[in-house]
Structure 1
Amino acid sequence: MVKKFVMALMYVAIGGLIYAYGDAILSWFQAADHLLLIVLMAIVMALFPVIPYPIVGGVIGAALGPVLGGVITWVGSTAASILMFMFIRYGYQEWGNRILHRYNRLGKVTSMFERNAFLTILFSRLIPFIPSIIINVYAALSKVSFTAYTVASALGKIPAMLLFSMVGDNLMTDPSNIVMTIGVYGVFLTLTLLIYKWSGVGGRVKKSAS
């Protein structure tokens, strides 16, 4: 228990430092020219999301362009999600899994989630307004395999990370393209939700929760 508390306290402390120096970090992204350092800092910013990652992705996209910025934003977010999964899985899973199955309704939802983990995580990642940390923690506390989580997360994050980078780049070059960019992603997201619904996964989860 003491180990878990110390780990959580360290996480909060690092998050507090990033929050305190957030403006300086974002300014650094705009001027930095060392790609490896930018990638490492992107991972840190995604791992400690006290500053919304879409803002970080937008700044990186504005500084490096939509393609390279999108790739770095995706690498940072994907690597951070894997690190968070491992941190929760090996530090808190035994304790957290008991909570997930303590209540009958939550236990049913979790069991359904575990059976359809790949598709559920994939489609959840495609929706940018679902906080990534919720998916990371919930998947890590469940019995979802590391491979299914990693592959689904990596694939599902691609469109959203490109969107953040493109919006940031458009703000610096041609703001009029932002509406079109968001519109295209909106169509893509609508199709994604329809496919998710037609696949039957969403319906089965809702039925299990009732």
Structure 2
Amino acid sequence: MHFFSEALASSGHLSILVSIVFNILISVLGVIPSAFITAANITVFGFQEGLIVSYLGEIIGAAVSFWIYRKGIQSLQPKFTRNRWIMRLQKSQGFPAFWMILLLRLLPFVPSGVINLAAALSKTSILIFFVATSIGKMPALLIEAYSVNQVLKASNEGKIFLVLLLLIMAVLYYVKRNKNTDL
């Protein structure tokens, strides 16, 4: 996060554009959580302005990654997930695709990159994708921005506790997942 904050702060009047470019890169890569750039936006621009910049960056990033995925990866037709909603999205178009994209955007644990890729591999139009993404990203981003803002305001002890809690949860998830695959 510090890298993003410094890059934005040193960009002067281009800082909003730099933030949007970071969001596009994060969206295209699909593996880096956007919470880092959201935290930097809130730190540099304040909560409300940072939220607006993050929202614009996320929807523009989603649209750009959709377009790139559609142009470059569609011919490969990867089987990247077995989630039934993602698989249904790949086969959908029109109004059903709109609702699936919207609902998937509202779920906090579905990575944005997976939704972008599945939608790009589907028959949905970029307009339907963009509208559903624009609507669905707002509640998810509000929750993310509020959470990030609370972490930024937390004491050092609170941050250490949160990191330890997340590490314990990750270890428990890893152990449970490996235990289920060994059966």
TM-score by length of 2: 0.66
CA deviation profile, 1:5-61 (whole Å, cap 9, x unmatched): xxxxxxxxxxxxxxxxx7533543466543222332333233334431123212322
Q: For CA contacts below 8 A with separation 6 or more, give which structure has more relative contact order.
A: 1
Q: Deviations over 1:68-90 (max 9, x none)?
A: 11111111111111111111212
Counterpart residue number, 1:184: none
Q: How far did 1:122 drift? A: 0.4
Please give the residue correspondences for 1:64-143 in structure 2 after superposition, counting only pairs within 5 Å: 64-96=45-77, 109=88, 113-114=92-93, 116-143=96-123
Give the partner amino acid of 1:167. S
- Return the letter of the residue paired with 1:63: V
Match of 1:150 in 2: 130
Q: Distance in 2 between matches of 1:24 and 1:46?
A: 18
For residue 32 of structure 2, give the secondary structure of its aligned residue in structure 1. coil
Alpha carbons of 1:62 and 1:128: their partners in 2 closer, same or farther (altered >3 Å)?
A: farther
CA RMSD of aligned residues (A): 3.0
Amino acid corresponding to residue 148 of structure 1 in structure 2: I
- Per-residue Cα deviation, 1:120-143 (whole angstroms, up to 9, x for no partner): 100110112100111111111111
> Is there any run of 5+ residues in structure 2 with no aligned partner, and where?
156-183
Higher mean alpha-carbon deviation, 41-50 vs 66-75, is at: 41-50
Give the aligned residue type for 2:126: F
How far, CA to CA, are the matches of 2:6 and 2:109 in structure 1?
Answer: 25
In structure 2, distance between residues paired with 1:171 and 1:165: 10
Q: How many residues align?
A: 147
Work out whether residues 93 and 122 of structure 2, in 8 Å CA contact, stay in contact via their aligned partners in 1.
Answer: yes
Percent of aligned pairs with the same amino acid: 26
Q: Match for 2:54: what amino acid?
A: T
C-alpha contact (below 8 Å) 1:31/1:63 kept by paired residues: no
The answer (yes or no) to whether the contact 1:89–1:140 under 8 Å persists in 2 is yes
With normalisation by structure 1, the TM-score equals: 0.58
SS of match in other structure, 1:39: helix
Q: Is the CA contact 1:43–1:75 (under 8 Å) kept in the aligned structure 2?
A: no
**CA shift in 2, pair 1:167/1:52, >3 Å:** same
Q: 1:48 aligns with which of 19, 24, 29?
A: 29
- What's the CA shift string for 1:101-158, capped at 9, x where partnerless? xxxx99x835764361001100110112100111111111111111111110111001
Give the corresponding residue for 1:57.
38
| AA matched with 2:112 | S
Q: Aligned partners of 1:166 and 1:65: how far apart in 2?
A: 12
Q: Counterpart of 1:128 in 2: which secondary structure? A: coil
